[in-house]
């Protein structure tokens, strides 16, 4: 996998987000996905390649066709990533509350 | 347990909203943001300068063993007692850039209040840098610990 790419870059692009949204409801072939966009087929293929490299989607061979699946586990990683940010604020605000409570008690 | 602090960061946007309900009267919550000694206590940083007035400015600094670890500054665009603060915020030597912050203070009951901070970044990428910070820090900590453990062996 190309290490310059991470999941956050993958979801930074609106077309890729639209592809992910499409795949949440069903598995689709590259052709069926491309039919939803005005962009050229090779552009869609490139997006699919990036999403696959980032493991946000998975390929599966079914007969002669390759189907793309959404990978919810990888999406969870993105949700988990916001948690440390939220936690630092939570800690800061807990401190604020404690400081102000002792301040008002002293008055 | 329900999370008291909520972060709303929509995908593809360059802003985010942080909300928190406090078990504090509105006046005390506002004071926590305007009294230098109190800011120092809960933010754990030294307040070098703080002018609570329209077009005032502020400066924070944290040092550890004589070395400056963290420096931040900004300008206060507007301030209204127990109601709101509009200011800029910038962490020095960081790739996050200047951010615009709208702080809204709201009374819920006599003993409780709510703070909403709406932060606008220069771009979606700048917002991502900011949000990645604690994540990267956590990873570094884990990595350091891993190195410590492997050294002991």
Structural domain boundaries of chain A? 7-106
Give the number of residues written for chain B. Answer: 153
ipTM over 0.90: no
Whether the predicted pLDDT of A38 surpasses 70: yes
What does pLDDT average to over chain B? 88
Whether the predicted pLDDT of A104 surpasses 70: yes
- The domain total for chain B is 2
- Do B145 and B111 reside in the same domain of the chain? no
What does pLDDT average to over chain A? 87
- Do B94 and B113 reside in the same domain of the chain? yes
| pLDDT average, residue stretch B54-71 | 90
- Do B78 and B138 reside in the same domain of the chain? no
Q: Which of B8, B12, B82, B134 to mutate to test the interface with A (most CBs of A within 10 A)?
A: B134
Q: What is the pLDDT of residues A65-83, one digit of tens each?
A: 999 999 988 877 777 778 8
Chain B residues with CB under 8 Å of A12 CB are 12, 124-125, 128
- Do B59 and B133 reside in the same domain of the chain? no
| pLDDT average, residue stretch B46-57 | 96
- Do B41 and B103 reside in the same domain of the chain? yes
- Do B87 and B140 reside in the same domain of the chain? no
Helices (H), B35-123: 36-43
Q: Which of A100, A9, A93, A97 lies closest to A51 in space, CA to CA?
A: A9
Q: Does B93 contact A at CB distance below 8 Å?
A: no
Q: What is the pLDDT of residue B144?
A: 60
Q: What is the pLDDT of residue B38?
A: 95
In-domain check, residue B26:
yes
Q: How far apart are the C-alpha atoms of B46 and B61, rounded to whole Å?
A: 5
- What secondary structure, in 3-state letters, does chain B show? CCCCEEEECCCCCCEEEEEEEECCCHHHHHHHHHCHHHHHHHHCCEEEEECCCCCEEEEEEEEECCEEEEEEEEEEEEEECCCEEEEEEEECCCCCCCEEEEEEEEECCCCCEEEEEEEECCCHHHHHHHHHHHHHHHHHHHHHHHHHHHHHC
In-domain check, residue B29:
yes
- Do B89 and B105 reside in the same domain of the chain? yes
CATH 1.10.10.10 given to domain A7-106 = yes
| pLDDT average, residue stretch B123-147 | 71
Map residue B121 onto helix, strand or coil: coil
In-domain check, residue B152:
yes
Whether the predicted pLDDT of B1 surpasses 80: no
CATH code for the domain of B63: 3.30.530.20
| pLDDT average, residue stretch B62-87 | 93
Q: What is the pLDDT of residue A1?
A: 43
In-domain check, residue B1:
no
- Do B50 and B101 reside in the same domain of the chain? yes
- Do B24 and B85 reside in the same domain of the chain? yes
In-domain check, residue B84:
yes
CA distance B72 to chain A (A): 16
- Do B143 and B91 reside in the same domain of the chain? no
Q: How far apart are the C-alpha atoms of B86 and B101, rounded to whole Å?
A: 6
In-domain check, residue B76:
yes
- Do B116 and B132 reside in the same domain of the chain? no
Whether the predicted pLDDT of B140 surpasses 60: no
Residue B129 lies in domain: 123-153
Map residue B5 onto helix, strand or coil: strand
Q: What is the pLDDT of residue B151?
A: 58
B5 vs A95: CB contact, 8 Å cut-off? no
- Do B81 and B135 reside in the same domain of the chain? no
Whether the predicted pLDDT of B138 surpasses 70: no
B96 DSSP assignment: T
């Amino acid at each position: 996998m190309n290490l310059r790419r991470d999941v956050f870059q993958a979801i930074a692009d609106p077309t890729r987000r639209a592809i992910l949204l499409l795949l949440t409801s069903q598995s689709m072939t590259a052709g069926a996905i491309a039919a939803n966009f005005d962009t050229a087929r090779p552009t869609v293929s490139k997006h699919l390649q990036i999403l696959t490299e980032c493991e946000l989607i998975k390929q599966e061979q079914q007969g002669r066709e390759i189907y793309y699946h959404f990978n919810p586990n990888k999406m969870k990683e993105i949700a988990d990533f916001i948690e440390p940010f939220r936690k630092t604020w939570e800690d800061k605000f807990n401190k604020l509350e404690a400081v102000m409570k002792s301040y008002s008690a002293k008055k | 347990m329900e999370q008291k602090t909520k972060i709303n960061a929509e995908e593809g946007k360059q802003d985010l909203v942080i909300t928190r309900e406090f078990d504090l009267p509105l006046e005390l919550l506002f004071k926590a943001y305007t009294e230098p000694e109190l800011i120092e206590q809960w933010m754990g940083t030294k307040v070098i300068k703080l002018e609570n007035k329209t077009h005032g400015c502020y400066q924070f600094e944290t040092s550890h063993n004589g070395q400056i670890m963290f420096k931040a500054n900004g300008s206060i665009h507007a301030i209204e007692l127990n109601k709101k603060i509009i200011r800029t915020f910038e962490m020095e030597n960081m790739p996050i850039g200047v951010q615009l912050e709208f702080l809204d203070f709201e009374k819920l009951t006599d003993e409780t209040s709510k703070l909403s901070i709406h932060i606008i970044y220069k771009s979606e990428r700048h917002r991502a840098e900011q949000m990645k910070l604690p994540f990267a820090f956590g990873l570094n900590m884990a990595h350091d610990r891993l190195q410590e453990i492997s050294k002991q062996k």
